Amino acid sequence: MKKVLIITYYWPPSGGAGVQRWMRFVGNLRKFGWEPVIYTAKDALYPVFDEKLASQLPEGIRTLRLKVPEPNAFIGKLLFWKKDKSDVIYKNQEQKGDKGSVFQKILWFIRGNLFIPDARFLWIKPSVSYLEKALAGENCDVIVSTGPPHSLHLIGKKLKEKFGIPWVADFRDPWTSMDYLQAMFLTKYAKKKHKRLEERVIRSADEIIVVGRTMYTEFKNNYGRDSAIIHNGYNESHKKKAGAPDKKFTIVHIGSFLSNRNCNDLWEVLADRIKTDKAFSGNLEIRLIGNVAPNVITSIDNYGLGEHLARIGYVAYEKTLDYLYAAQVLLLPIDRIENAEFVVTGKLFEYLRSERPVLLLGPTHGDAADIIRNCHAGYCCDFDDKKSIRECIAAMYALFLEGKNTV
């Protein structure tokens, strides 16, 4: 059986979205004649933990771990970490350059201009040294690096140069087009360095994998490189989890609800409807599974929807499936960012498998919207298109009343 070394920062006990893609790939590699060896972080400060995920891995997978320096721990505490660790997941991603104190902006500047390509850059050299020794006895046929964090691609690149082993770079998100870089006050030098490192990775890797059409087009236009588009997916066995749908008209969001995904126009549409339709008011429930930014809760309350809100908080992955398959509507807000058309969230494919209707709020020309339309899986509305949102809610509610709200 051939052997593949997979370099990934996110791995059980990490929870959240970043771990799912390669955890699911690894679960199927042996079927195709490949034995995976995992290299990952030891004692990493993941935003969320899910201790149960490890039980879903195939037995006997060799896992190599090395302590990872976490400068984010120090920066995060100085910036905005609070006693409630549920705050961290969105606070570490949602900050914009025009927000926060002068002190916070200085720390963002330091993080953006000294930690290149990201806060795991200190892990590159020790990882290469560690893996040089480990690979000497492994006889790996292929190396795979998956990012973000994109520092891991630099580990893969150096190992390829050392051993001449074919190397595949998997991009779950863009690099230089990533929205959070805009919040870090990058100097011209830092921007050029990011671009230079990205180009070296794209041109050096034997194969490039991306998760969507827009990223494929960007790499093709910028570097003349073709990529393989491999979307995220779902676990087919999870269909067995399906039960009866909710009796209420539940609008369900699963995962981190960041501040730049706030749906003010949706909240306004729902608020208007409950004022004029008592039956709708009695049926409506907004159910949020996962960490939620404070401004989202504030908006829901301000629109008078607080009594319709069920805030569940973070739950283990397996438990999310109960909520997923019972939902009457699955809400998919896309980040309000400059390159939002890139976004293809991992949860989208879990949503598709549930055969529950999806309501996407975001760019109607983006990758996620294209997938939903091609799969006839629901409705796509621009964030600010209140008329379209109102029509979609009306259509889904009518189907709910008829017991036909499925796709």
Per-domain residue ranges of the chain? 2-229, 236-402
Q: CA-CA distance, 146 to 181, in Å (whole number)?
A: 19
- By CB atoms closer than 10 A (0-12, 13-18, 19+), residue 240 is exposed
pLDDT at residue 73 in the model: 67
Taking residues 114-134, report their average pLDDT.
95
Q: CA-CA distance, 324 to 333, in Å (whole number)?
A: 16
* Selection from 377, 153, 182 nearest residue 260 by Cα: 182
Contact between 184 and 108 (Cβ < 8 Å): yes
Taking residues 269-291, report their average pLDDT.
97
Chain position carrying tokens 């908080």: 313
Phi-psi sector, 285: left (phi>0), alpha (psi -120 to 50), beta: beta
pLDDT at residue 97 in the model: 42
Q: CA-CA distance, 288 to 353, in Å (whole number)?
A: 19
pLDDT at residue 95 in the model: 46
pLDDT at residue 212 in the model: 92
Q: Which tens digits make up the pLDDT trace of 349-405?
A: 999 998 999 999 999 999 999 999 999 999 999 999 999 999 999 999 999 999 887
* Selection from 173, 128, 206 nearest residue 337 by Cα: 173
- Give CATH for domain 2-229: 3.40.50.2000
Q: CA-CA distance, 113 to 186, in Å (whole number)?
A: 6
pLDDT at residue 86 in the model: 37
Q: Which residue has the higher pLDDT, 314 or 34?
A: 34
Task: Provide, rounded to the nearest whole percent, the portion of the chain with pLDDT above 70.
Answer: 91
* Sheet containing 358-361, strands listed edge to edge, beginning at the edge strand earlier in sequence: 309-313, 284-289, 249-254, 329-333, 358-361, 378-381
pLDDT at residue 16 in the model: 84
Q: How many CB atoms lie within 10 A of CB 261?
A: 24
pLDDT at residue 340 in the model: 87
pLDDT at 132 > cutoff 70: yes
pLDDT at 103 > cutoff 80: no
Q: CA-CA distance, 276 to 177, in Å (whole number)?
A: 44
Q: HEC string of the chain?
A: CEEEEEECCCCCCECCCCCHHHHHHHHHHHHHCEEEEEEEEECCCCCCECCCHHHHCCCCCEEEEEECCCHHHHHHHHHCCCCCHHHHHHHHHHCCCCCCCHHHHHHHHHHHHHCCCCCCHHHHHHHHHHHHHHHCCCCCCEEEEEECCCHHHHHHHHHHHHHCCCEEEEECCCCCCCHHHHHHCCCHHHHHHHHHHHHHHHHHCCEEEECCHHHHHHHHHHHCCCCEECCCCCCHHHHHHCCCCCCCEEEEEECCECHHHCCHHHHHHHHHHHHHCHHHHHHEEEEEECCECHHHHHHHHHCCCHHHEEEEECCCHHHHHHHHHHCCEEEEECCCCCCHHHCCCCHHHHHHHHCCCEEEECCCCCHHHHHHHHCCCEEEECCCCHHHHHHHHHHHHHHHHHCCCCC
Sign (positive or negative) of CA dihedral 302, 306, 310, 314: positive
pLDDT at residue 251 in the model: 98
Average the pLDDT over each of 151-155, 316-320, 378-382 and give the range with the smallest value: 316-320
For 231, the token pair is: 């979307």
Per-residue pLDDT band at 137 (split at 50, 70, 90): confident
41 phi, psi to nearest 5 deg = -85, 145
Q: CA-CA distance, 154 to 34, in Å (whole number)?
A: 23
Q: Give the CATH number of domain 236-402; options: 3.40.1360.10, 3.40.50.2000, 3.30.420.40, 3.40.50.1000.
A: 3.40.50.2000
Q: Which tens digits make up the pLDDT trace of 50-98?
A: 888 899 899 999 999 999 988 766 666 655 544 343 343 344 444 444 4
Average the pLDDT over each of 131-140, 146-155, 169-178, 254-263 and give the range with the smallest value: 131-140
* Selection from 365, 326, 330 nearest residue 351 by Cα: 330
Taking residues 109-123, report their average pLDDT.
92
Q: Which tens digits make up the pLDDT trace of 217-260?
A: 999 999 999 999 999 988 776 665 566 889 999 999 999 999 99
Q: How many CB atoms lie within 10 A of CB 394?
A: 13
Q: CA-CA distance, 11 to 118, in Å (whole number)?
A: 18
Per-residue pLDDT band at 263 (split at 50, 70, 90): very high
Q: Which tens digits make up the pLDDT trace of 79-91?
A: 554 434 334 334 4
